[in-house]
Structure 1
């Protein structure tokens, strides 16, 4: 019997990317060393709703046990017990006693830990403290003498005979005995790999290759859930306040260091006056003829531009439009050089057209919160500059390595004649189109070029991608052909884990998401998306899967990682497929609402179906006894990949 587990780190700072998650990866490492074949993870902030949502997500992935870490103490934000307790169907107080007693051997402070254990359906849930020391102590207690294995065996419906027999004979059941997770532990043994490679062996001749994909077909929602669960955000960096901040997520709260404005300033172009000054003719002073610290003399007004400070003794500003030029000063050539006197046409009220100190922002005010996205619209960068910040802490944006696979491909910019019978090959469409999309979103792209259908070429390209980027994006080589090498290379040459290899969508069924262990990454692994080779399928799956992954790496809030969805009315009938179909459309705003028009034929190789498309209508799968199409005039959800047209 194989076992799987989920790990949830509960921490505001880890969720925001401010601090590194140490306890979550430690639990994963310990469980994988003990032979768990699948370990998924999530990070939740310290609030009950988010913790419960993360737990329900992990439970939906059908794991045998879930460990949380953090939020079990007496702090104001320690809410893990409150979040999880209502969900437990059967309490396990004996396990809690075991955990506390093991920790109390090391410190009396363990008595302050409010831990829980119990079952939800066929899944065991255990809450652990947040420190790595306590995590080790607790897991050691659970894993010693087969306690966890025996519990999982019983929860799964087993009899526990093996463990009882071993205990009755006086032997420790975990040595030389197979237990609930179907693995053995012997002194000096090497821990098994987290999963067995499912891909075909590239060294086997073509007739011996797999004819049916060994990877289970999963639905769109589950695929997105897996991505959100597996991917963890990158590290925090400090960057200067420039346009390059666009797309980053704040990793700190930003507060105003001083009142803004710091003194009285004007919000119009005009003249600083005393509100007691009646309409009449006044001498004009400027910053070159009068110091701001000196009181404005009687009979004079002070010329001032929008945003400028008022001189002492003035309390109002009259607009230029409410004055007339009375006389000017001449230059040596007799030409008008400067205003000498101006006639005011109105009397202004105290404080008119004046911004008081601190009227925009008070010292200490929170102007931007940790977790906010700095957009390219300019408002966030402007706010940071407005309060005088020269640099700010943000979560680093991922660098993307991009490559295409296939002997048949030609580089548009440097084509090389193809050897053979005169067939000219096909242009590599995917790299330039994906690079345009990525750079348009502000991501740095490392172009690894076209990779030949040879294992060594794939290994070199993936190795370079792991060295230079945070996430690898490939197209082609994901299906069932003898030369489709990405899955075998990931599993067999890089010891990677393929989290899913097929998704029930059209286009994009062979979309693959994997992680590869490496010591040069913040979480000791990097991620890879192997997208289909058909150009339209590559672009569609990029928007559906890769964009959320890039945003999650950059610490965007989970509910903002996917592209926005809107309700549209169909202007054309759209046939349904047994899979969820993502139909390319043009979405327009009209007096009747948002209308979606098809871009024509939807074959996955037809790139022109994406030309001008700004939306993907998500069509439901064809159901037995249901309609064969959505009719014109019906409503559906569209995923927006571009701006809505007018």
Structure 2
């Protein structure tokens, strides 16, 4: 959400005259700015219905303010008329805010019942009255501070943000869910996974198909710049008009009739500047009209002569030109941009799949576009599982480890501008896992969990997904290292399809599988994928096209039974691009092995190349972690 724009109005005769110092206005500005809001205006006005109401209308009707806070003029004296001025301009009362302000203020001082505070809405602006004292302003601000964001989201008609808040309230009011999963005694648990191990390519194909089916298109107003930046256009956008929409002058000079040739011209009184209606100016034979760059050329003029090719012959007493000499004979259409010469009506100006940046938005504004169809970016919930986990900052206890997965994955997604919901840590308890998953699915389109998907007696995530959410497990094992127990599921929750990536708990496994499975899915959902995939040899190259580098390894490597994504550093300095696999353990639990890496090198399995070692002559593919 972009910062809330707040205007502060101090209402006081004595402050307006300079007989007293305005202390409440600066205090409110500080409180607002401390909460990340942007104070766009400060006003100091005398008491009086007209002075206050006119200020409120000015600050609300020009769309500069989301919230207006007044301070002063709410008492019982004859000049205290701020509530009356506010009632004159608001269109809806916000009675709940009035009651909350009065109730909380009376808890601190009984005299607060003498404050006549009014709150209400004018157009899309919330207006709230505060008393005049610093203490009362601070107390009243604390009352409304926690609801301001949600109030402004509603006034801005930000349905996504409003829905998230309502879902959270709905969750908190619901009874705790009871999982239907009964844990199997350790002596009876399965010794082999019931899930078939599939190839990486097959797993990516499934993720792709399910992600494409879930893509959503929304229309955003071109005025919502902060929401549009980085979004991907969902369909070709054509220009509804030609550009320029009229014959436009390329130079500062004079609009003339070409057949008049060179020689003297009488200068008509009305200059042609950008934005003028060309029908208001008529150029006849023997006359010319001053014209600025970008100005519309009158229909009966067919050339523009730059000012450098003219000279003044006669001026009026006030210095204005009467007659100028055209030194060179002009040609037809000289220095005139024709209608549609830049952009034709119906021409595609922004193609489907284009990521919007400043230039693209400028083009859309140029052709008069009002709204833009874009792919909606997914909201992603992140949840860790495990009794052994501590959150960062928790006091350490024996046998515990700090949860690195949640921090790592949230940082990765935040870096790529996804909205992330932190679901915390779920204990190895079916009810807790069930309730946290339900809460996550209320708030997000995609859920990423780590841990609880292998063969341990407390690995319950898959069972909870299947029994409590009737999720379809598309795959539960992938032939890769690290990340063999990676699980991908979908379910319908509150009539909405959700994607669930249940990743292994080892830190490197979680990081690598999030990069390889969840990130491509999120890119597909947001429309951020390439169109031409016909030459790609596997699914990973297809959906990480911008990250791919073909190279060789710096030294021979012993191969594994599974394809291995090894952390490596790429050397671009020589004639060939070479990857040096980082020394030390590449265990999936060792996150340090990813710290210095800038790439994942896909090392094939023994079965794929029918060898035990990979030589330095064999080409491999690396995927840039930092891309």
Cα distance, 1:455–1:608 mapped onto 2, change above 3 Å: same
Residue aligning to 2:394? 416
- Deviation at 1:309? 3.5
Conservation of the 8 A alpha-carbon contact between 1:615 and 1:641: yes
Conservation of the 8 A alpha-carbon contact between 1:233 and 1:555: no
Q: For 1:323-356, what per-residue CA distance to the aligned partner results, in whole angstroms no more than 9, with x for missing partners?
A: 89999x9xx9xxxx99999999987754455421
Residue aligning to 2:619? 635
Residue aligning to 2:228? 245
SS state at 1:505 partner: coil
Q: Which of 271, 282, 287 pairs up with 2:273?
A: 287
Q: Which of 202, 225, 236 pairs up with 1:222?
A: 202
Please tell me whether residue 528 in structure 1 is matched to residue 509 in structure 2. Answer: no
Residue aligning to 1:621? 605
Residue aligning to 2:369? 389
- Deviation at 1:620? 1.3
Conservation of the 8 A alpha-carbon contact between 1:398 and 1:470: yes
Residue aligning to 1:458? 433
Residue aligning to 1:265? 248
Q: For the residues of structure 2 that align with 1:584 and 1:642, how far apart are their CA atoms? A: 12
Residue aligning to 1:97? none
Conservation of the 8 A alpha-carbon contact between 2:254 and 2:288: no
> Structure 2, unaligned stretches of length 5 or more?
1-179, 534-541
Cα distance, 1:288–1:476 mapped onto 2, change above 3 Å: closer
Q: For the residues of structure 2 that align with 1:396 and 1:350, how far apart are their CA atoms? A: 50
Cα distance, 1:347–1:640 mapped onto 2, change above 3 Å: farther
- Deviation at 1:457? 1.3
SS state at 1:373 partner: coil
Conservation of the 8 A alpha-carbon contact between 1:374 and 1:381: no
- Deviation at 1:237? 2.7
Q: For 1:402-434, what per-residue CA distance to the aligned partner results, in whole angstroms no more than 9, with x for missing partners?
A: 11122333333xx22244x4x5632x2222332
> Structure 1, unaligned stretches of length 5 or more?
1-199
Conservation of the 8 A alpha-carbon contact between 1:247 and 1:373: no
Cα distance, 1:599–1:278 mapped onto 2, change above 3 Å: farther
Q: Which of 583, 600, 625 pairs up with 2:566?
A: 583
Alignment of 1:205-220 (within 5 A): 205-220=185-200
SS state at 1:530 partner: strand
Q: For the residues of structure 1 that align with 2:324 and 2:388, how far apart are their CA atoms? A: 79
Residue aligning to 2:489? 514
Cα distance, 1:288–1:381 mapped onto 2, change above 3 Å: closer
- Deviation at 1:229? 3.3
* TM-score, structure 2 normalization: 0.57
Q: For the residues of structure 2 that align with 1:310 and 1:504, how far apart are their CA atoms? A: 69
Conservation of the 8 A alpha-carbon contact between 1:248 and 1:373: no
Measured on the aligned residues, the alpha-carbon RMSD in Å equals: 4.3
Q: For 1:144-185, what per-residue CA distance to the aligned partner results, in whole angstroms no more than 9, with x for missing partners?
A: xxxxxxxxxxxxxxxxxxxxxxxxxxxxxxxxxxxxxxxxxx
Cα distance, 1:595–1:291 mapped onto 2, change above 3 Å: same
Residue aligning to 2:384? 404
Alignment of 1:62-461 (within 5 A): 203-231=183-211, 232-241=213-222, 242-243=224-225, 244-246=227-229, 248=231, 250-266=233-249, 270-271=252-253, 273-274=255-256, 285=271, 287=273, 292-293=278-279, 294-295=281-282, 302=290, 304-305=292-293, 307-310=294-297, 315=302, 350-368=332-350, 372-378=352-358, 380-412=360-392, 415-419=393-397, 421=398, 425-426=401-402, 428-461=403-436
Cα distance, 1:424–1:538 mapped onto 2, change above 3 Å: closer
Cα distance, 1:615–1:288 mapped onto 2, change above 3 Å: closer
- Deviation at 1:531? 1.1
Of 392-401 and 487-496, deviating more is 392-401
- Deviation at 1:443? 2.5
Q: For the residues of structure 2 that align with 1:338 and 1:506, how far apart are their CA atoms? A: 82
Q: For the residues of structure 1 that align with 2:602 and 2:569, how far apart are their CA atoms? A: 13
Cα distance, 1:462–1:323 mapped onto 2, change above 3 Å: farther
Please tell me whether residue 493 in structure 1 is matched to residue 471 in structure 2. Answer: no
Q: Which of 513, 529, 547 pairs up with 2:519?
A: 547
SS state at 1:636 partner: strand
Q: How many residues align?
A: 426
- Deviation at 1:458? 0.6
Q: For the residues of structure 2 that align with 1:519 and 1:599, how far apart are their CA atoms? A: 46
- Deviation at 1:603? 3.2
Q: For 1:77-124, what per-residue CA distance to the aligned partner results, in whole angstroms no more than 9, with x for missing partners?
A: xxxxxxxxxxxxxxxxxxxxxxxxxxxxxxxxxxxxxxxxxxxxxxxx
Conservation of the 8 A alpha-carbon contact between 2:233 and 2:356: no
* TM-score, structure 1 normalization: 0.56
Q: For 1:452-500, what per-residue CA distance to the aligned partner results, in whole angstroms no more than 9, with x for missing partners?
A: 2221111111001121211111112222222222112112322222111
Q: For 1:280-308, what per-residue CA distance to the aligned partner results, in whole angstroms no more than 9, with x for missing partners?
A: 99989563998744146868674534x55
Residue aligning to 1:476? 451
Q: For the residues of structure 2 that align with 1:606 and 1:269, how far apart are their CA atoms? A: 66
Residue aligning to 1:32? none
SS state at 1:464 partner: helix
Conservation of the 8 A alpha-carbon contact between 1:201 and 1:209: no
Conservation of the 8 A alpha-carbon contact between 1:246 and 1:374: no
Q: For the residues of structure 1 that align with 2:384 and 2:275, how far apart are their CA atoms? A: 68
SS state at 2:566 partner: strand
Q: Which of 498, 503, 510 pairs up with 1:538?
A: 510
SS state at 1:582 partner: strand
Residue aligning to 1:607? 591
Q: For the residues of structure 2 that align with 1:344 and 1:588, how far apart are their CA atoms? A: 65
Q: For the residues of structure 2 that align with 1:272 and 1:588, how far apart are their CA atoms? A: 61
Of 538-547 and 574-583, deviating more is 574-583
Residue aligning to 1:162? none
Cα distance, 1:360–1:530 mapped onto 2, change above 3 Å: same
- Deviation at 1:373? 2.0
Residue aligning to 2:124? none
Cα distance, 1:535–1:358 mapped onto 2, change above 3 Å: same
**Of Structure 1 and Structure 2, which has the larger fraction of its residues in helix?**
2
